[in-house]
Structure 1
């Protein structure tokens, strides 16, 4: 049976990764060497004091000369560590720059393919068709909104002139008089008249 979880993705280790790792290992070894020398110098300082107390000045002087030499070695070691750290930083930054450049390269290739798939002429054609479609839709909207064309306006003016000059056949006015409708007084007025009659009757 195969692995149900699938194969574990393996990360490809580049030459730059190996170089960075080696530099960091060398830096760590130098730091360990520094630590060892510092411990040794502390012991030798204590030993030099003891030799002076015991009256062994020559041995104490020799020990201090050795200590001085080791101090210089420590200074050189510190310089080497600084150089290694700077080199590691430069390599790591170079790797980042390479990834950025690779990303830009892929992006440029994609853009180039997209530009090849759509020429300037094609874009202009699409824009023209879009503008025509917008204009056509606007005309439909105008018609649906009840706006009149110039031809419609001319027809309306012609109809107005015909009415003014009496050329249109209008329906005849009826000859019969309208029947009289008795005027109805408002309810308020009737109530007031009734109250006046009742006062007069008293």
Structure 2
């Protein structure tokens, strides 16, 4: 029961490729440590051989130098192995990048196939033919409509169009002002009904009142003489 209702462990995202790269890097690090240890031993053996020679122990110094030579050969071998591991690690990492690129190309190719599957070549050709037929049919209709009217009919249409334009202009223009010559042509009866135009300029109302007040005084002065 516990196994049925227990939580499932999430799947590890670490792939075999990742494990292989990790192991190569670990082996590389071990080789570097081994090289460092050998280099330290070589330095000590050199000092020890010098000390033995100073002490007159030539055979012991020779033995130490033979050991040193062997370790130098091991160091060269280790360098070659380390170079191989470095190259293999880089190849694996680059292979991972290539795999991602190939996977991306695969996904893109599948998407392109699905997009192309929507319309086949025959379907596209059919649509193009229908479009071409529609355009040609519309051109035929336009030619038929343009050929219904004769040249005289076309002139009548243009003339009628000009008349409509003139009428619209007259409606929008302001009414003309009657000139003096037109006033002379009016009937005499209508001219008699018009008020007379004064010859003198109209006076101010206050000046007119003063003139009326002064007029009786002038008449009295004439009578007295």
When the two structures are superposed, what TM-score results if normalisation uses the length of structure 2? 0.55
**Structure showing the higher helix proportion among its residues:** 2
Look up the SS of the partner of 1:24 in the other structure. helix
Equivalent residue for 2:65?
Answer: 64
Equivalent residue for 1:99?
Answer: 100
* CA distance in structure 2 between the aligned counterparts of 1:151 and 1:34, rounded to whole angstroms: 102
Equivalent residue for 2:121?
Answer: 120
Assess, with a 3 A threshold, how the Cα gap between structure 1 residues 125 and 155 changes in structure 2: closer, same or farther: farther
* CA distance in structure 2 between the aligned counterparts of 1:49 and 1:86, rounded to whole angstroms: 39
* CA distance in structure 1 between the aligned counterparts of 2:43 and 2:150, rounded to whole angstroms: 111
**1:121: Cα distance to partner?**
3.2
**1:149: Cα distance to partner?**
3.7
Look up the SS of the partner of 2:90 in the other structure. helix
Equivalent residue for 1:154?
Answer: 151
**1:128: Cα distance to partner?**
5.0
**1:115: Cα distance to partner?**
1.5
Number of matched pairs: 152
Higher RCO (C-alpha under 8 Å, 6+ residues apart): 1
Look up the SS of the partner of 2:96 in the other structure. helix
Assess, with a 3 A threshold, how the Cα gap between structure 1 residues 155 and 128 changes in structure 2: closer, same or farther: farther
Equivalent residue for 2:84?
Answer: 83
* CA distance in structure 2 between the aligned counterparts of 1:37 and 1:125, rounded to whole angstroms: 79
Assess, with a 3 A threshold, how the Cα gap between structure 1 residues 84 and 153 changes in structure 2: closer, same or farther: farther
Equivalent residue for 1:186?
Answer: none
Assess, with a 3 A threshold, how the Cα gap between structure 1 residues 11 and 127 changes in structure 2: closer, same or farther: farther
* CA distance in structure 2 between the aligned counterparts of 1:28 and 1:137, rounded to whole angstroms: 80
- The yes-or-no answer on 1:108 pairing with 2:109 is yes
* CA distance in structure 2 between the aligned counterparts of 1:89 and 1:37, rounded to whole angstroms: 26
Mark the runs of 5 or more structure 1 residues left unpaired by the alignment.
Answer: 1-8, 143-147, 160-180, 182-202
Equivalent residue for 2:191?
Answer: none
Equivalent residue for 2:26?
Answer: 25
Mark the runs of 5 or more structure 2 residues left unpaired by the alignment.
Answer: 1-9, 157-180, 182-225
* CA distance in structure 2 between the aligned counterparts of 1:70 and 1:98, rounded to whole angstroms: 41
Look up the SS of the partner of 2:14 in the other structure. coil
**1:122: Cα distance to partner?**
3.0
Q: Comparing 57-66 with 98-107, which one deviates more in the overlay? A: 98-107
**Which structure has the larger Rg over C-alpha atoms?**
2
Assess, with a 3 A threshold, how the Cα gap between structure 1 residues 135 and 64 changes in structure 2: closer, same or farther: same
Deviations 1:89-129 (A, max 9, x none): 11112212211221111111111111212122332344456
**1:155: Cα distance to partner?**
3.5
* CA distance in structure 2 between the aligned counterparts of 1:157 and 1:151, rounded to whole angstroms: 10
